[in-house]
Chain A
Amino acid sequence: MTRLAETRTPAAVLDAALREVPDPEVPVVSIADLGILREVVLDEASGEARVTITPTYSGCPAMDVIRSHVEHVCRRQGWHPVVTLRLSPPWTTDWMSDRGRDRLREFGIAPPGSAGRPVGGPVTLTLRERVVTCPQCGSDDTQEVAHFGSTACKALRRCLTCREPFDEFKAI
């Protein structure tokens, strides 16, 4: 555990640093870009940093790493971290910033399309085909290879134009 720094940085400095904490699985995007960082409340008087994060998937194993990274950043700047995990409202890829989407594409991961929200009432089943653009060459002629990829949030696809395989960030 990081020792608490003796002098506390201004709130704006910590706030900016927290927004730059990278996602451990896809380090080109920050937890703020992904929409995992839900709320930062900094109490100047007590030095308490109340940070709320939300998991992408219920069982996402990266949450513990993200939590300890957030705590580390706070302590190094002299703030007491209080990190809370919140499930509701459920995380959606629609919360991902445009900057995050661009960075994913540059990294070779197809960013998620619009998720749409499941609403109450009976769920119907669709055996659907999604149109996903290849992050390498920009072709829409791509095909799913595996429904689940290297992490909970990704699927594996291949491009039929440039023949390259690539990860797709699943829209949920």
Chain B
Amino acid sequence: MSAYRTGGTAPTADQDSAAYLLGLADDAMVYAQRLGEWLTHAPQIEEDMALANISLDLLGQARALYPRVGELDGSRRGEDDYAMLRDERDWRNVALVEQPRGDFADEMARLLWFSAARVQVLVAGSGDPVLDGVMGKGAKEVSYHLDHAAQWVVRLGDGTDESHQRMQAALERVAPYVEELFDDDPASLAVAFEVRGPLPSETRQYAVAAVERVLTTAGLTLPGPGPWRARGGRQGVHSRPMGSLLAELQHIARSHPGASW
């Protein structure tokens, strides 16, 4: 049973909007899973709490969006169908969020980029009532996540030689996954303007400016373009870690279909 009822208006199938919302929902769902893995592994107990809280916010955003996708694509699927019963090629998240957690600096670099990019999408609002509701709440939540990541990046970048060097190295490792956040994939190009707000490419300069400000304060440098970059997540082409992530996420639901307790 879905926790959320969607608005009373009878939805007409709209595959373009469904595909676009699915990308946003999958980013949130997969990143929630990765952040949840930090529980009991963060450098201090406060960070266990912080990363679990951020995970929970993103999970809540995904849970609200999946039933709406099920209305828009006409399948009437619910949140569990999307989260637990889809195979790798059916997921539409970017590669950034599916990467295994590295060290704490890697996570702060990833959280900084993800939040900086996502908050620009969320503040735009949407003509879709459910997406607009998620965006209104999500913009506040993700701003707070962005603030949290920024504070850590400054603390580590402007800390000891060791922490500075490791934070810079983390930024370099995350860099190849950043540009995919700003790709105008077929789903975002096809969806009506009233539904999506700005294109991913249109949010790029604002997100980069926000990250640059943090890096300047931290005494870190923005990595330049590398020899390769991730792409294809929105078309369902994922990197190798995605398979084991889904195995861990889905195995209980698949081994015991329909189980409840």
Chain A residues in the interface with B (C-beta under 8 A): 55, 57-61, 63-64, 84-92, 115, 118-128, 145-150, 152, 156, 170, 172
Contact = CB atoms under 8 A, between A and B. Distances in A.
A156 B134 CA distance: 26
B156 interface: no
Contacts, number: 119
Given A90-B136, A125-B147, A147-B147, 9 more contacts: A59-B59, A59-B61, A59-B63, A118-B139, A123-B210, A125-B213, A128-B147, A146-B49, A152-B57
A89 B135 CA distance: 10
Given A87-B4, A125-B214, A58 B124 contact: no
B134 A87 contact: yes
Interface string B129-153: 1101110111111011011101100
A69 to B, nearest CB: 15
Contact of B136 (A64, A89, A126, A148): A89
A148 B134 contact: no
Given A120-B123, A146-B50, A125 B133 contact: no
Contacts of B141: 57-58, 172
Main secondary structure of the interface of A (DSSP, over half): loop
B136 A59 contact: no
23 contacts: A57-B141, A58-B61, A58-B134, A59-B57, A59-B59, A64-B3, A85-B3, A85-B5, A86-B133, A90-B133, A90-B136, A90-B140, A122-B123, A123-B139, A123-B210, A124-B210, A125-B147, A147-B46, A147-B50, A148-B53, A148-B54, A150-B49, A172-B144
